[in-house]
């Protein structure tokens, strides 16, 4: 379990804090999705939680241990998998993992056995002596996952690890995190691939400009869901938005406008738009997605 | 295993050791290159005489060191061949040697050969071995050979330098005269003694005063006790001199009845030389001041490479994060990686100094003075660690590894290779004339401002302590051991503490 309380992180020379009084709770046996735009504070949250970056104020408790004041003890219970695997490109897979294992008190022979098994589990059993620079993006992610699992920690912080993966790699990570949840681990998964998060996350926390906007669970997401219309207009203008806003909350992305919970029937809406002189390319009925919810949420925050 | 032990051992087995090995090997190669180019100030000189008697040449040689003291254990190969007929072409093959013998000098430095041969002309080749000092400089008959000619029986011929019976100057580091003398037919002189008196030589017209000790009161220097006798150099009151005159020391050998057997005049310019020029090019401060130039470059370079690989680069590329997320603190990791760098530099400094010391002993039989070792190791270590600490601190203000490399190389060149030039430019710009004493003082004091100059400072202090002339500027600049030690401590401690603050408080 990981609890972040009133986390604030300011970087020198920047007026806006990267994290602004953020609270977060990651429970055992759950996958918590972390969603936000680029620069929202997701990576900073994870780096502070992993003990890689010092908070300006606030604290992070990992299974009750302060990650700053009790770093060694807290770090025994946490692992971090970054978006990009940051290690010396000339390093070889197995020796690298054995080196990491030494920090967890594993003796060399034991470490080699554990690391070999981990490499086999992530599908890199044949690449034990391969150099990191020769690995593909997916292989590096797998190696990174293996390095995180050396001490089999209770809490895992996965930062954008789905980026750059092919469908097979995404499926592998999905199975991996579901297995972790099954084993009672607490998994924080930040991602831009909201569809994937929607599929695996038990709860989702939305961050924007360093602030935690809201955390919702699956039930809340389901409740927030409902019919929405995806309308594509060739000549969308302010008057069109005013009209659409009158029949439900709207979100616009170029020529596409989403209307959540419309108060009129679809054929009536189309007829009215045509009557007002708008060229309607497409009107599609959708159920509310995490993406739409997120866009709606940050739209409200703006 | 404790994670910090694990990290320390991993560091020492990794690039730190490679950097240490490379720089140590490079430094030693340059150091030994400097040593082998140095002429030893242990100069072995051979002199002697020969005479023909009873169908054989009698050759007696003596071996001296630079202080005129006999040297035992010198092996001399003597080969005698008849002269080659060079008037025909092509020249005939060299004639076979009629004599080939190897002997070793005794406690008095003497080696005697008896060559049974008809009274004729012969060429003598001498090959000298002195294993304790492979690089001992050889002079006189030891360095080549001489010629045995048909001298009348009973006439003693002096062989090679020293050509005079009484020598001074070159052979004298101390206030002594080395007197080479033999009795009739090469016997040990008995009853002969040496006297000296002060005379005057007038330029252009020759001696303007007495040409020998006649009319003067000679001072007795002592009896001759062997083929070589070391006597105190006389200190005699000189007569009043005009600008056209120079003093002359007359030295005469007299027999038991007071008859003068030999007389020579020694210019006072040949008087005792207490600081001959070649000593400063020998081992010790002179050699070290040459070596300290590249030590001041290579040890900081090693410190730079070690902290770049172990700290600056991992921090700037983010690879250190994969370690920091483990059960270690940033403070502990900083401490261990710094310790690994310091250990590497300490081993490197100690190996370099001790190996150079051993090399000096093996090549010249003149190891560094024992009191030099600890300050030299300390100076090298301080130079390496302080420069590494500077790079470490700078890496916290930079954004990329290439920027760290650029800064490190620039600092290294400026503070090490081109420091004197930069100080010279500054002094020139501020109106100090180059070569003046104030310029030299400024140059010495400026070394306190550049960590790579610490080895030069230490060598300067050692030179000063050993009394050699090279230490004079340090005394004039008021740069003593406490000042240098304080500068070294500050250069090491301040950047490290600031970096520690950055690591613990700012990251």
- Which chain A residues have a beta carbon less than 8 Å from that of B506? 12, 54
3-state secondary structure of B299: helix
Flag if B325 and A51 touch (Cβ within 8 Å).
yes
Cβ-contact B347, B20 below 8 angstroms: yes
Each of the 507 residues of chain B gets a pLDDT tens digit; together they read 788 888 888 888 877 788 888 888 888 888 777 776 665 556 677 777 777 877 888 888 878 776 566 788 889 999 999 877 777 777 778 789 999 999 999 887 888 899 999 888 898 888 888 776 666 677 777 887 888 887 766 566 655 443 334 443 333 334 567 677 777 766 777 888 888 888 777 766 555 555 677 777 788 888 988 766 777 777 777 666 666 677 777 888 888 898 888 887 776 554 444 333 222 233 455 566 667 777 888 889 989 998 898 888 888 888 889 999 999 998 899 999 999 999 999 999 999 888 888 877 776 666 777 888 899 899 999 999 999 999 888 888 888 899 999 999 999 999 988 898 899 888 888 887 777 778 888 888 999 999 999 988 888 888 777 766 666 778 788 888 899 999 999 999 999 999 888 887 655
B232 strand-pairing partners: B176
Q: Which of B320, B325, B396 to mutate to test the interface with A (most CBs of A within 10 A)?
A: B325
| Radius of gyration (C-alpha) of chain A in whole angstroms | 23
Distances (CA, A) of B481 to A268, A302, B410: 97, 67, 29
A8 strand-pairing partners: A57
Positive or negative CA dihedral for B476, B480, B485, B487?
negative
Sheet with A256-260: strands ordered across: A250-253, A256-260, A227-233, A280-287
Sheet with A65-66: strands ordered across: A19-26, A2-9, A57-62, A65-66
Q: In A, what residues contact B, Cβ < 8 A?
A: 12, 47, 50-54, 71-73, 75-76, 78-80, 82, 84, 86-88, 99-100, 102-105, 107, 147
Find the mean pLDDT for residues A269-276.
90
E strand or H helix that includes residue B4:
helix B3-13
Distances (CA, A) of B56 to A280, B52, B105, B114: 133, 6, 21, 6
Fold of B44-160: Immunoglobulin-like (2.60.40)
Q: Is the peptide bond before B90 cis (omega within 30 degrees of 0)?
A: yes
Flag if B329 and A72 touch (Cβ within 8 Å).
yes
Q: Of B205 and A145, which is predicted with more confidence? A: A145
CA distance A22 to A39: 15
Q: What is the pLDDT of residues A159-172, one digit of tens each?
A: 988 887 888 888 88
* Chain B residue closest in CA terms to A156: B325
Instruction: Find the CB nearest B1 among A87, A100, A107.
Output: A107
What pLDDT does residue B181 have? 75
CA distance B346 to B359: 20
What pLDDT does residue A46 have? 95
Q: What is the pLDDT of residues A177-200, one digit of tens each?
A: 999 999 999 999 998 877 778 778
Flag if B326 and A75 touch (Cβ within 8 Å).
yes
Q: Rounded to 5 degrees, what are φ and ψ at B346?
A: -65, -45
| Chain centre to alpha carbon of residue B328 | 51
Tokens, residue B307: 């902290």
Q: What is the pLDDT of residues A71-115, one digit of tens each?
A: 999 999 999 999 887 778 888 999 999 999 999 999 999 999 999
Given the DSSP bridges, would you call strands A186-190 and A31-35 parallel, antiparallel or unpaired?
parallel
| Chain centre to alpha carbon of residue B499 | 41
Q: Which of B155, B351, B319, B279 is nearest to A85 (CA)?
A: B319
What pLDDT does residue B355 have? 87
Flag if B321 and A99 touch (Cβ within 8 Å).
no
pLDDT higher than 80, residue A128: yes
In angstroms, the separation between the Cα of residue B8 and the nearest Cα of chain A is 11
E strand or H helix that includes residue B283:
none
What pLDDT does residue A32 have? 95
What pLDDT does residue B350 have? 92
Distances (CA, A) of B494 to A189, B389, B456: 42, 8, 21
pLDDT higher than 70, residue A224: no
The angle at the Cα of B309, spanning B306 to B311, to the nearest 5 degrees, equals 90
Flag if A102 and B318 touch (Cβ within 8 Å).
no
Q: Is the peptide bond before B324 cis (omega within 30 degrees of 0)?
A: no
Cβ-contact B248, B266 below 8 angstroms: yes
Q: Which of B203, B186, B314, B296 is nearest to B248 (CA)?
A: B203
Between A and B, how many residue pairs show a Cβ–Cβ distance under 8 A? 66
Q: Do domains B44-160 and B161-281 have the same CATH topology?
A: yes
In a 10 Å sphere around its CB, with 0-12 CB exposed, 13-18 middle and 19+ buried, how is residue B328 labelled? Answer: buried
The ranges assigned to domains in chain B are 3-38+284-505, 44-160, 161-281
> What is the 3 state secondary structure string of chain A?
CEEEEEEEECCCCCCCCCEEEEEEEECCCCEEEEECCCCCCHHHHHHHHCCCCCCCEEEEEECCEECCCCHHHHHCCEEEECCCCCCCCCCEHHHHHHHHHHCCCCCHHHHHHHHHHHHHHCCCHHHCCCEHHHCCHHHHHHHHHHHHCCCCCCEEEEECCCCCCCHHHHHHHHHHHHHHHHCCCEEEEECCCHHHHHHHCCEEEEEECCEEEEEEEHHHHHHHCCEEEEEEECCCCHHHHHHHHCCCCEEEECCEEEEECCCCCHHHHHHHHHHCCCCEEEEEEEECCHHHHHHHHHHHHC
Q: What is the pLDDT of residues A226-259, one digit of tens each?
A: 677 889 999 889 999 999 988 887 888 888 888 8
What pLDDT does residue B32 have? 78
* E strands, B141-226, in order: 145-148, 157-159, 166-167, 176-180, 193-202, 206-207, 219-223
What pLDDT does residue B329 have? 92
pLDDT higher than 80, residue A287: no
Instruction: Find the CB nearest A102 among B1, B317, B505.
Output: B1
Q: Which of A59, A1, A53 is nearest to A25 (CA)?
A: A1
Q: What's the mean pLDDT when you consider all of chain A?
A: 88
CA distance B81 to B96: 6
What pLDDT does residue B166 have? 47
DSSP letter (8 states) at residue B109? S
CATH 2.60.40 is held by the domain B161-281 = yes
- Which chain A residues have a beta carbon less than 8 Å from that of B322? 86-87, 100, 147
Residue B477 has a CB neighbour count (10 Å cut-off) of 21
A19 strand-pairing partners: A9
Residues 6+ apart with CB under 8 A from A113: none
3-state secondary structure of B212: coil
């Amino acid at each position: 379990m990981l609890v972040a309380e009133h986390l604030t992180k300011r970087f020198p020379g920047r007026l806006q804090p990267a994290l602004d009084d953020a609270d977060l709770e990651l429970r055992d046996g759950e996958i918590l999705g972390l969603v936000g735009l680029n620069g929202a504070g997701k990576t900073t949250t994870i780096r502070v939680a992993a003990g890689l970056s010092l908070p300006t104020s606030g604290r992070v408790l990992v299974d009750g241990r302060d990650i700053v004041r009790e770093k060694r003890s807290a770090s025994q219970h946490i692992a971090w998998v970054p978006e990009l695997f940051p290690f010396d490109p000339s390093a070889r897979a197995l020796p690298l993992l054995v080196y990491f294992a030494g920090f967890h008190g594993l003796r060399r022979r034991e470490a080699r056995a554990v690391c070999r098994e981990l490499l086999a589990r992530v599908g890199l059993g044949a690449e034990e002596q391969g150099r990191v620079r020769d690995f593909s993006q997916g292989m590096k992610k797998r190696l990174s996952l293996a390095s995180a699992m050396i001490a089999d920690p209770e809490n895992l912080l996965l930062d954008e690890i789905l980026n750059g993966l092919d469908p097979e790699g995404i499926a592998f990570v999905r199975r991996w995190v579901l297995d972790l949840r099954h084993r009672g681990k607490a998994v924080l998964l930040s991602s831009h691939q909201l569809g994937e998060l929607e599929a695996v996350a038990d709860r989702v926390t939305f961050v924007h400009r360093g602030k935690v906007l809201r955390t919702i669970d699956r039930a809340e997401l389901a409740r927030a869901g409902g019919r929405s219309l995806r309308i594509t207009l060739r000549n969308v203008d302010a008057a069109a938005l005013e009209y659409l806003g009158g029949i439900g909350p709207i979100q616009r992305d170029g020529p596409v406008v989403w209307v959540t919970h419309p108060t009129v029937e679809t054929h009536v809406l189309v007829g009215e738009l045509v009557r007002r002189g708008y060229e309607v390319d497409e009107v599609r009925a959708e159920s509310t997605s995490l993406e739409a919810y997120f866009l709606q949420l940050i739209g409200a925050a703006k | 295993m404790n994670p910090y032990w694990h990290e320390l051992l991993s560091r020492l087995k990794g690039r730190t050791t490679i950097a240490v090995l490379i720089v140590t090997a490079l430094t030693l190669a340059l150091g030994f290159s400097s040593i082998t180019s140095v002429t030893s100030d242990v100069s072995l000189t051979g002199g002697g005489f020969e005479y023909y008697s009873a169908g054989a040449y009698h050759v007696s040689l003596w071996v001296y060191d630079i202080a005129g003291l006999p040297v035992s254990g010198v092996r001399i190969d003597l080969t005698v061949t008849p002269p080659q007929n060079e008037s025909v072409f092509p020249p005939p093959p060299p004639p076979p040697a009629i004599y080939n013998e190897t002997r070793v000098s005794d406690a008095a430095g003497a080696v005697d050969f008896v060559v049974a041969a008809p009274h004729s002309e012969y060429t003598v080749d001498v090959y000298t071995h002195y294993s304790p000092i492979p690089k001992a400089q050889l002079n006189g008959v030891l360095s080549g050979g001489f010629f045995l000619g048909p001298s009348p029986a009973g006439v003693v011929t002096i062989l090679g330098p020293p050509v005079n019976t009484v020598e001074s100057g070159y052979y004298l580091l101390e206030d002594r005269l080395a007197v080479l003398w033999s009795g009739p037919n090469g016997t040990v002189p008995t009853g002969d003694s040496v006297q000296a008196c002060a005379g005057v030589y007038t330029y252009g017209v020759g001696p303007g005063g007495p040409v020998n000790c006649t009319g003067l009161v000679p001072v007795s220097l002592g009896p001759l006790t062997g083929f070589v006798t070391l006597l105190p150099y006389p200190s005699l009151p000189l007569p009043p001199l005009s600008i056209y005159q120079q003093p002359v020391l007359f030295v005469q050998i007299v027999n038991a009845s007071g008859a003068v057997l030999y007389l020579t005049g020694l210019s006072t310019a040949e008087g005792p030389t207490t600081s001959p020029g070649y000593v400063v090019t020998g081992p010790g401060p002179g050699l070290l001041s040459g070596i300290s130039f590249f030590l001041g470059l290579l040890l900081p370079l090693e410190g730079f490479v070690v902290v770049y690989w172990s700290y600056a680069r991992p921090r700037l590329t983010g690879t250190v994060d994969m370690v920091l997320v483990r059960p270690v603190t940033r403070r502990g990791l900083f401490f261990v990686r710094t310790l690994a760098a310091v250990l590497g530099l300490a081993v490197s400094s100690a190996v370099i100094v001790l190996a150079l010391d051993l090399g000096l002993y093996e090549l010249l039989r003149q190891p560094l003075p024992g009191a030099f070792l600890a300050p030299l190791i300390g100076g090298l270590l301080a130079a390496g660690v302080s420069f590494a600490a500077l790079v470490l601190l700078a890496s916290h203000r930079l954004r990329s590894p290439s920027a760290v490399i650029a800064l490190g190389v620039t600092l290294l060149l400026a503070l090490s290779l081109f420091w004197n030039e930069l100080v010279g430019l500054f002094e020139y710009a501020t109106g100090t004339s180059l070569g003046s004493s104030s310029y030299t003082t400024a140059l010495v004091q400026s070394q306190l401002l550049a960590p790579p100059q610490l080895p030069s400072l230490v060598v300067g202090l050692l030179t000063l302590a050993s009394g050699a002339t090279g230490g004079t500027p340090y005394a004039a600049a008021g740069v003593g051991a406490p000042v240098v030690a304080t500068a070294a401590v500050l250069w090491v401690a301040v950047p490290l503490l600031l970096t520690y603050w950055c690591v613990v408080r700012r990251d």
